[in-house]
Amino acid sequence: MKIFLLSTFYTICLIVGQEPQKDSASFVFDPPSLRINFGETAKVNIKLIDQKQELVNIPFTIYSANDPGIGPTPDWPGTSINIVPRVSDDSGNALVTVQPKRSGKLLLKVRSTSGIVGEMVIDVPKPPINQLVFSKTPSKLYVGTLTQFTVKVFDKAKVLRDDTDYVLKSSDTSIADFDNFGNLKTKKAGRLTVSAKAGDKIEKFKVRIVKNPVRSLSLNFEQEQIRTGDVLHLKVNALNGAGRIVRDAPIRFSFSGQADYGEYGLPASGLVTEDGRFVAETAGLYTITASSGVFSDQKTLRVVPRAVEKDVRLIGHGLVSDVKSGDLWVWAGVGKHKGKDFAATGSIFGNGEAYFWDVSDPANMKIIDTVTVDARNVNDIKVSTDGRVGIISREGASNRKNGFVILDVSDPYNVTIISLFNDDMTGGVHNTFLYENHVYAVNNGRKYDIINIEDPKNPFRVGVFELDTPGHALHDVWIENGIAYSSNWKDGVVAVDVGGLKFSEKDRSDVKFNPLLMKSGKGSPSNPVKLASFPDRKGRNHSAFPFLSQTTGDFYIIAGDEVFPNGLENLLNNKPSSPRGGFHFMNFNDTDNPKEDAVYLVPEAGSHNQWVYNDILYAAFYQAGVRILDISGELLGDLYKQGREIGYFLPKHREGIIPNAPMVWGAQPYKNYIFLSDMNSGLYCIELVDKNET
């Protein structure tokens, strides 16, 4: 059965071709350029005119072009400029209010529904420096030690300035002096002032240099053999002349190694942290050294390969080659279909299709129904835990009535539309999540609205969550245990209580516990309460997934990038594109002071969506396929280099939209299989098998 929800105007435009060709119309900006200060507002009149200087009556999107990686389409809102409105009406003319949220040469861009583009420059002078913040301000240091200092530079707009140099100075270089890398080397006892200068701003603190009491060091660690990727905790005792421990002695760590010459003869490489954690990337013999002043101790250990690799076997494939595939969701059938398995996939840059599949026999997957709605993108699909209600998102509707569609999926062979929700969602819904009879819909790329669907025929808004940061933007939201994890580009990951259960310390049954639940209990769908966050200074945070390690009890939010450094034209024009980015493991054990512990990057590829199950990460890496990663144990450093990859699969098909070109959108583990959606060639099912089974 096919369901069509297409407006007459949209259908006629497609058939007759009323929209102008790219070379027959252009955008005109008044004024043609702007120079305004950070935070100020200005008006820009934008017109789309034809060769006769007459208005072309079609809508267009206004967006910022200075945030690489923002969104999968060029009309995704950026964080450099606040823009109101972001979408014009059908007149071909828009009076737009702009407010820059960063300094520099910013680009205001426009794009019509027919692909006509234009841009103007907004020149925003850099605000003066206002504050310098030292990474540490110790009151005492020991003679003969080296301490590194860094400084954060903020301007009057409270923006962290990465483009501004600062100078560190010692008031008495005979006592201590800085090298070119911010290290203060102490030479003799005395008092001095450490200062940092950036522009006209100076920040200082006083420090006392005292005689170093350390006379010996003792380095120990429990294991003499570890695997690549295992984290070894180094224990060091600094002793004075009487054999007593000097607890505040500064310790520096280093290592040297000799790699085991395997297939490639890799050099020994790894990471040792300031707080005494060591992880190796390659197998071999490593000698670790701890030092304090002129005293040191060292110890050797062996590192062996992690050896977690498995083979990946293709089970089945369902080809979709007339439209790019988007998100997927796999679920178990209910009612008369109990015992069967089903999947749904969305579509990108198409005509609003959502496909429903019978995947009970994954070797013979087949489309059993199609729902078509008025949309350019149906890129997100979710199904309720009881397998009866489905949600598909809508962007690019011809009448701008975007939003989401509520479906009855209890019979996947005959999916029906229950209702539509498009109230105040003209900018489009890019992503949704369905949790406990509520839809969390990412609205216009700036917030998520919370819609009650207890009666799916009569949905209604009960709440909304939006950040108050300058130029904020939002891409994605995922919910577990009543906590919503949103992805907010430059604002990074944000955890919000939307109905999490309140726990106390005495409620812990073991170490495996999400510490955010300790802070939850006050929020609800109608009263979302922010719990914690971690910013992304590069502005690439596209996805977030909570991960409670089953082996260590550590709690992470895995933050995924999305960035297209060469632009999106190839993606839009069905040519191979070159996205980049990776996944960042944010440790939230201390919810007030989260930190990044590890990263997973695949060289020359770009990250997209992720899923975690049983300490295994299933990561979509666009042109590098789906990657399956062992994330058991403590995590530190570069996970890709540590031999943690269990396997990978590159979906290729000669009849794909781009033949033989992988472009994986996302993957979902289900039962003993892994299902994945490839933008160029549809739905795949794979499985992991031991090496000796193939």
pLDDT tens for residues 275-290? Answer: 999 999 999 999 999 9
Q: Does the pLDDT value for residue 606 go beyond 80? A: yes
Q: Chain-wide mean pLDDT for the chain?
A: 89
Could you give the CA distance from residue 574 to residue 207 in angstroms, rounded to a whole number? 61
Query: Greatest CA span in the chain, whole angstroms?
Result: 93
Mean pLDDT of 294-312: 95
Position with higher pLDDT, 61 vs 407: 407
CA atoms within 13 A on the CB side of 59: 17
The pLDDT value given to residue 574: 83
Which residues have a Cβ under 8 Å from the Cβ of 583 and sit 6 or more positions away? Answer: 558, 559, 560, 561, 599, 600, 601, 607, 610, 617, 619
Q: Does the pLDDT value for residue 18 go beyond 90? A: no
Residue 449: which pLDDT band, with cuts at 50, 70 and 90? very high
> CATH code for 216-304?
2.60.40.10
Structure tokens at 161: 């300035």
Which backbone phi and psi does 265 adopt, to 5 degrees?
A: 60, 50
Partners of 344 in the β-ladder: 329, 356
The pLDDT value given to residue 67: 47
Mean pLDDT of 55-82: 63
The pLDDT value given to residue 19: 45
Fold for the domain defined by 2-124: Immunoglobulin-like (2.60.40)
**Rounded alpha-carbon distances, angstroms, from residue 655 to 35, 316, 319, 624, 652:** 50, 16, 8, 19, 9
In degrees, rounded to 5, the angle at the alpha carbon of residue 432 between the alpha carbons of residues 428 and 433 is 165
Under 8 Å between Cβ of 639 and 600: yes
The pLDDT value given to residue 262: 66
Structure tokens at 50: 């034809």
The pLDDT value given to residue 80: 77
> Closest Cα to residue 290, out of 260, 251, 259, 333?
251
Tokens 């707009």 belong to residue: 157
Of all residues in the chain, the percent with pLDDT exceeding 90 is: 73
Tokens 């435009």 belong to residue: 13
Under 8 Å between Cβ of 78 and 488: no
pLDDT in tens, 522-557: 999 999 999 999 999 888 999 999 999 999 999 999
Cis peptide bond upstream of 85, omega within 30: yes
296, burial (CB in 10 Å: exposed 0-12, middle 13-18, buried 19+) = middle
pLDDT in tens, 492-503: 999 999 998 766
Residue 163: which pLDDT band, with cuts at 50, 70 and 90? confident
The pLDDT value given to residue 69: 37
Tokens 């089953």 belong to residue: 550
Which residues have a Cβ under 8 Å from the Cβ of 363 and sit 6 or more positions away? Answer: 315, 316, 685
The pLDDT value given to residue 7: 32
Residue 111: which pLDDT band, with cuts at 50, 70 and 90? confident
Residue 5: which pLDDT band, with cuts at 50, 70 and 90? very low
Rg (CA), the chain: 28
The pLDDT value given to residue 255: 96
Residue 350: which pLDDT band, with cuts at 50, 70 and 90? confident
The pLDDT value given to residue 66: 55
> Closest Cα to residue 129, out of 160, 167, 168?
160
> Closest Cα to residue 474, out of 449, 498, 500?
449
Residue 506: which pLDDT band, with cuts at 50, 70 and 90? low
Q: Does the pLDDT value for residue 71 go beyond 80? A: no
pLDDT in tens, 117-143: 899 999 999 889 999 999 999 999 999
Domain with CATH 2.60.40.10 in the chain: 2-124, 216-304
Which 8-state DSSP code applies to residue 386?
A: T
**Rounded alpha-carbon distances, angstroms, from residue 290 to 234, 267, 375, 526:** 9, 22, 61, 54
Structure tokens at 21: 């060709």
pLDDT in tens, 398-443: 877 889 999 999 999 999 999 999 998 887 898 999 999 999 999 8
